[in-house]
Structure 1
Amino acid sequence: MAVRKRSALAARRAAAGYTQESFAVAMCLDRTTVGRWELGKSEPQTWQRPKLTEVLGVTPGQLDEILRQTQEQAERSAGSATEDPVGKPAPRPSAPTEATGVRLDIGAPQISDWAAVYATPPADLQERRLWVTDEEVGVAAGMLAMFRQLDHTHGARSFAPQVRSYIAGELDSLLARPAADERVARHRARVTVGFLELAGYQAVDTGSPAQAQAYYQRALALTTATNDQAYGAYLVAVNLGHLALHCDEPQTALRWASSAHAAAGTATSPATRSAITAVVARANARLGRESEATKLILQAEELLGTANPQEEPDWIRYFTPAYLADEVAHCWHDLGHAPAARTQLAEALDGVGRDKVRRLAIDAALLASTWLRTGDLDQACATGLDAVAYAARTGSGRCVERVAGVLVELDAHAGCAPVQDLREYTRAVLPEADRLALTMARGA
């Protein structure tokens, strides 16, 4: 019987002193993932490669060559295996067409890769490694709370690098060690998902939607691995759904949020179901489906009315009536009902909290737009001044975009004194919004 030649990746792994199992432990992977890599059936994800070069002791260029050789060998082996008795190659299925735009493959290989966080190392390795304790996870949870507050107040530009650094350093180190027990493992998973969710949101805020999707997919993979269906449904609807809306893909948002809505089920907490339902409503509103959006808004309000904050998961407790009012306001605005949107924005601005500066800036900009739509130029400019003042206190790209959008809407009234005052104030305290408005106006 022929002996299968070891692939270049397998050879390098063995030369580094690892068995498949010990290598999987060093990489925080499942052994089956290592097997797929060495068989050329899949390749390491981009975010795994820096650690892979470190464990194997190779440079990035050497790793690329190892993976290329492994893939070529796998293709040669597959070619010989698919020959029929007379030497003709068997037909192969055609490759799927490459998708365009914002897409999510929830069956992607990284799901099983992230599941390896919870793989149990062999006994001899366990004895030489420190167990992760609940106290350590508690420290990480405290860091997450701090970073979230900084993000709410100051936007992503100032603190996104620190969040990414924390994930790649302290958090990945925490994930590389075995948990003391199942409860600690689940707590660690929740904190990790929270960090990935925050990093994704910050990527949106700094204009990197593709990077945001990558973070959200990693988070989703971890909720899948730990069977956390409620948090997974939330990620698909609220994070990925909002991302699709941000990228002006309402059909994609509707598909994702609707699938999450169906998967969440009645076992999911009321606030979680309310947040998911609100995103489905927003997608319908963006598509002009007023009847469906109205029905879903009422459902979301009813669900949130039954929620007990003390019984809700900690990651959804932020979703208060003020946050739902913000979602509803966007629905009415997209449907062209400015007065109804203003009513909801008043509740949102009053209840979201003075420390949520980015949210205040975004809602104030939307409120200015509603006043302009009903012909009240003075109110639009007065509220626009509030939006600029809030936005100037953050490093938020989304706030800059929203303010710039209001300025573009006001261009038709450029000769009016209130508009000129607003423009001068923006140039003084938020010049990037003024520059973006000029660019947007030229593009229009």
Structure 2
Amino acid sequence: MQPDLGPSIRAGAAVAPRRKRFAKRRKTLGYSQEGFANELGVAVSTVARWEAGKTDPQGYLHPKMAKILKVTPEGLADLLTPEVPAPDRSTTYATTPPLGDTDDMKRRDVLSLLAVTGALIAVPSSDKPSPRSGVAASLAETGPELNSHLWKVFSLSDSKQAVYPMVRHQLDLLAKGLEECQSDASRQQLCALVGDLYQLAGEIFFDANRYTDAAHCYTLAASASREAGAFDLWACALTRHAFVELYERRFAVAAPILAAAAQVAERGDRQLSTRHWVAAVQAEAHAGLGNLDATVRALDNAEQVHALAGQLHNGGWLRFDGSRLAEERGTCYLSLGRPDLAEQALTAALSQQLSLRRRGAVLAELAALGAERHDLDQASHYTRAALQLAGQTGSGYIGRKLEGVKNRLVPLLADGRASALHQQISALDSAA
């Protein structure tokens, strides 16, 4: 995770890798930053940000940049690969995170809290009065609204990890609330809040490509939701757990989890979209197993969400409204080796209003489609656009989609363009 560590740490830790080779080539050809910017029709500050490694040039500028710098497209890709600076051994505590504040320590911190919360859910509190009385009552009053707010912040944030500190604080309060003596009704309400927020914690881990940690969070979320008697919440936690297996391409493992989620969802609120979301995810599992007929049936079941009236979801742990079905169809058809159907669905998805994270994922799928067809122009165009959004958002979700592009480029590496794209995606992996 990458929570905000404060101004002094950010000042020392956020040194972007610079593009020294790119700047050197510009200077060698006699261009100042201003002159180079004028040739391209961009602002001088834009060129400065490129060379500082803070932003990437947009894909449509690459041909003109290569011409000005008198390099091949592959040569330009090499120039644009940032050089990672060597660590500064002289850095002091004022600009370096303390040893106890590392990413691994934060991870263990959350997993320890998860273990404690799991125990509190499994073993109801005793009748002995709690010295911290009042936490549970406060959470019952403010918890639902705060959880909903955190989901909204997560949804709107370009960098999903930025939400982590707030989520971590609320998870700690929920654990304290569960320690208190409480009525069965109060305990059920707290378990529902835990089932809700641990799904959000899992989403944060999932976006950072920490799939095992995400799975732990989803497992606890499912247990807490079961204790709360909240079937829709429970089904969503199981579905998110199955997503972890899908992204590890363990389709045979995901399928029974989703079958269980479908059974649980059938006991939920028929006015909510839960069972339709489960069907949409089941389609991905069927596609991974190569079953076209089952995939189409599951997608058709998911499409029935459009027949529902009223409030379909809560915008938090349940957000499925069918608006993503075009991109989900595209993903399924690409997995099934049906590029004709995949391109139609993905192009339709790209025409919609998408978040940066979702747009990056669709662009990566279109790049994979180009690579599958050995169309390197299409693969190059969409890969660079997806890489730019991956860098802008820091999303591991887009990076994971780009891994699919990278794998499909392997048979084409004899072509310099494919090799350059492969290197650019690998550079993203290294940076992550």
Q: What range is the shorter-chain TM-score in?
A: 0.5 to 0.7
Would the aligned equivalents of 2:195 and 2:221 in 1 still touch at CA under 8 Å? yes
The 1:340–1:127 alpha-carbon spacing in structure 2 relative to 1, beyond 3 Å, is closer
Q: Deviations over 1:182-233 (max 9, x none)?
A: 4x76554443323211221222333332222211111111111111122212
How far apart, CA to CA, are the structure 1 residues paired with 2:261 and 2:182? 30
Instruction: Provide the residue aligned with 1:281 in structure 2.
Output: 283
Instruction: Provide the residue aligned with 2:194 in structure 1.
Output: 192
How far apart, CA to CA, are the structure 1 residues paired with 2:351 and 2:189? 33
Instruction: Provide the residue aligned with 1:140 in structure 2.
Output: 146
Question: How do 1:390-429 residues align onto structure 2 when only pairs under 5 Å count?
Answer: 390-414=389-413, 419=418, 426=424
How far apart, CA to CA, are the structure 1 residues paired with 2:374 and 2:132? 72
Task: Figure out how many residues of one structure are paired with residues of the other and give that number.
Answer: 321
The residue type equivalent to 1:215 in the other structure is C
After TM superposition, the structure 1 stretch with the greater mean CA deviation from structure 2, 371-380 or 361-370, is 371-380
Structure 2, unaligned runs of 5 or more = 1-109
Structure 1, unaligned runs of 5 or more = 1-44, 53-109, 437-444
How far apart, CA to CA, are the structure 2 residues paired with 1:177 and 1:274? 37
Would the aligned equivalents of 2:286 and 2:295 in 1 still touch at CA under 8 Å? yes
Higher relative contact order (CA 8 A, sep 6+): 2
Would the aligned equivalents of 1:345 and 1:367 in 2 still touch at CA under 8 Å? yes
Question: How do 1:141-160 residues align onto structure 2 when only pairs under 5 Å count?
Answer: 141-149=147-155, 153-156=158-161, 158-160=162-164
Would the aligned equivalents of 1:126 and 1:178 in 2 still touch at CA under 8 Å? no
Q: Which has the larger radius of gyration?
A: 1
Would the aligned equivalents of 1:150 and 1:159 in 2 still touch at CA under 8 Å? no
Question: How do 1:339-418 residues align onto structure 2 when only pairs under 5 Å count?
Answer: 339-351=340-352, 353=354, 356-414=355-413
Would the aligned equivalents of 2:234 and 2:264 in 1 still touch at CA under 8 Å? no
How far apart, CA to CA, are the structure 1 residues paired with 2:191 and 2:398? 31
Instruction: Provide the residue aligned with 1:232 in structure 2.
Output: 234
The residue type equivalent to 2:226 in the other structure is T
How far apart, CA to CA, are the structure 2 residues paired with 1:50 and 1:127? 20
The 1:374–1:191 alpha-carbon spacing in structure 2 relative to 1, beyond 3 Å, is same
Instruction: Provide the residue aligned with 1:241 in structure 2.
Output: 242
Instruction: Provide the residue aligned with 1:212 in structure 2.
Output: 214
Instruction: Provide the residue aligned with 2:60 in structure 1.
Output: none
Would the aligned equivalents of 2:374 and 2:412 in 1 still touch at CA under 8 Å? no
After TM superposition, the structure 1 stretch with the greater mean CA deviation from structure 2, 252-261 or 132-141, is 132-141
How far apart, CA to CA, are the structure 1 residues paired with 2:416 and 2:133? 73
Instruction: Provide the residue aligned with 2:9 in structure 1.
Output: none
Q: TM-score by structure 1 length?
A: 0.62
Would the aligned equivalents of 2:361 and 2:401 in 1 still touch at CA under 8 Å? yes
The residue type equivalent to 1:234 in the other structure is C
The 1:127–1:328 alpha-carbon spacing in structure 2 relative to 1, beyond 3 Å, is closer
Q: Deviations over 1:281-339 (max 9, x none)?
A: 2111111111111112111112x122235253444652132322232222111111112
| Corresponding position: 1:114 with 2:121 | yes
The 1:393–1:207 alpha-carbon spacing in structure 2 relative to 1, beyond 3 Å, is same
SS of equivalent to 1:319: coil
The 1:46–1:394 alpha-carbon spacing in structure 2 relative to 1, beyond 3 Å, is closer
Instruction: Provide the residue aligned with 1:173 in structure 2.
Output: 176
Instruction: Provide the residue aligned with 1:202 in structure 2.
Output: 204
SS of equivalent to 1:308: coil
How far apart, CA to CA, are the structure 2 residues paired with 1:219 and 1:175? 14
How far apart, CA to CA, are the structure 2 residues paired with 1:281 and 1:171? 35
The 1:276–1:373 alpha-carbon spacing in structure 2 relative to 1, beyond 3 Å, is same
The residue type equivalent to 1:369 in the other structure is A
Would the aligned equivalents of 1:275 and 1:300 in 2 still touch at CA under 8 Å? yes
SS of equivalent to 1:321: coil
Cα drift, residue 240 of structure 1: 1.3
Would the aligned equivalents of 1:241 and 1:254 in 2 still touch at CA under 8 Å? yes
The residue type equivalent to 2:301 in the other structure is Q
